[in-house]
Amino acid sequence: MHIAEGYLPPVQAAAWFAVSAPFVVHGSRALVRQVRQDPETKLLLGAAGAFTFVLSALKIPSVTGSCSHPTGTGLGAVLFRPPVMSVLGGIVLLFQAVLLAHGGLSTLGANIFSMAIIGPWVAYGVYLLVRRAGGGLGVAVFAAAALGDLATYCVTSAQLALAFPDPSTGFAGALAKFGGIFAVTQIPLAVSEGLLSVLVIRLLTRTSGDDLRRLGVFRAAEVRA
Amino acid sequence: MFALDAAAHTGVWRSRHPAEKALLSLGLLACAVILPPWPGAALSGAAAVVLLVGPARVAPAVVLRAARVPLLFVATSTVPLLVTMPAPARVTLDPAGPALAAQTAGRSVAALACLLLFSATTPLSDVLPRLHRLGVPPAVSEVAALTYRMLFLLMESARAVRAAQAARLGFRTWRAAYRSVAGQAGAVFVRAFDRARRLEEGLALRGYTGSLAVQVEALPVSPPFVAATVGLLAAIVAATVLVAPTW
């Protein structure tokens, strides 16, 4: 769910850039270090960025009857880790703004915060929690993708509520209004994205075991190469 | 290819320096976002639309098609601005709501027109190699350039797989549709990493040292274009100050 170009007041738009900047700078430094140690990583990261973009452009059937697009942040975080996703997500969001007019340049900071920072970190945290609690791979990936998507939607609603508080009940009332109106599409979409991510991971463990091992996603025993 | 990128690659402003187009469209975008919606954003948006379909000669159909999704977001997220919640589960119309909704939607539509002016006239392939001049680390801009190069191949792969699945009734039921979309994602993943591996091998054979710098076409900056842009932006700011002096 991208906040459209110019939708946020200028001060809020600038504030979200300031909030997102440390995460993107940290991710960029990690990426630069990684590329310096192993220059070939650059090509894999380019492939990962392109995969994330295409993943977010796939049409998945939605419970509301229409088609929607996944955010791709949950699966991306499990495959490529959150610090890298903050940079790759930023690049993907910039491309989506310029190539598709989804999101925008003035709202890039806010969209990076919800989709490239909070979404991936929540997804990866949930993935680790479920795995450490003994949950299966499918359960962990479903929970990561669905909750990562939901976290993105909640943060976007909070960003809009902060920008446009309700005249009577302030932030809480505005959060209920924005959350309520987007819940119709976003909750079914989160479930759809969770299901899709499980199917994708199952497929990848069968067809791309070496790549998953190279990415350090799964233990060798989990991959039926 | 994406319609906006195709328009940028084939448009009459293709040979202009990206900095000229960035100054014009991002300057208008800044005016649309920072100045009051009336008349600042309205003038900026109107100028962007006139420049898009006038001197830049972008087809109106391309502009309208690209604007559909963001306009849907603006329409949906404007609804909560019209109402207020004095108590939980109680919603009433807010008397000040229509004005706030009109201001917000107006600013957003104007800013969208400015973004489209940039997108439909400036190819990303012209912008990415110049990003390091803005302080972006070369490794990050090179990853972005690689992502951009692989995008088209992968989008085409996803489209081809989808067409093949549709021809085999792959979207007949919900179950089949999910399996088919997962198949598309899997195919794209395999293709992306296969492509990266082949690039890696090709570069290694050519003595790859870690730099993917490409030759950037030297484009002259047009002083009249820059002067006209600065004049337009100054006129918009001056008109806004005159009409809304309390801003």
State mean pLDDT over B107-126: 96
CB contact under 8 A, A54 and B155: yes
Answer yes or no: is pLDDT of A198 > 70: yes
CB contact under 8 A, A60 and B181: yes
**Nearest by Cα to A165 from A183, A156, A177, A151:** A177
CB B29, CB B44: distance < 8 Å: yes
State mean pLDDT over B143-165: 92
Answer yes or no: is pLDDT of B212 > 80: no
Estimate to the nearest angstrom the gap between the alpha carbon of A24 and the chain centroid.
14
- Model confidence at A66, in pLDDT bands (50, 70, 90)? low
- Mutation to test the A interface, candidates B77, B127, B200, B206, most A Cβ within 10 Å: B77
Least confident of A65-69, A181-185, A192-196, B182-186: A65-69
CB contact under 8 A, B179 and A199: yes
Residue A225 is predicted with a pLDDT of 41
State mean pLDDT over B162-170: 92
Answer yes or no: is pLDDT of A112 > 80: yes
How far apart are alpha carbons A131 and A91 in whole angstroms? 29
Residues of B in contact with A7 (CB under 8 A): 73-74, 77, 104, 107-108, 111
What is the number of residues in chain B? Answer: 247
Measured between CA atoms, how close is B215 to chain A, in angstroms? 19
Residue A62 is predicted with a pLDDT of 59
State mean pLDDT over B81-100: 88
- Model confidence at A224, in pLDDT bands (50, 70, 90)? very low
State mean pLDDT over A176-194: 85
Amino acid type, A110 = A
Q: What is the ipTM of this complex?
A: 0.92
CB contact under 8 A, B158 and A49: no
Measured between CA atoms, how close is B202 to chain A, in angstroms? 11
Q: What angle do CA B227, B231, B235 make, to 5 degrees?
A: 175
**Averaged confidence pLDDT in chain A:** 87
Using CB atoms, which residue from A28, A53, A202 is nearest to B137?
A28
Residues of A in contact with B96 (CB under 8 A): 167
Over residues B38-52, the pLDDT tens digits come to: 899 999 999 999 999
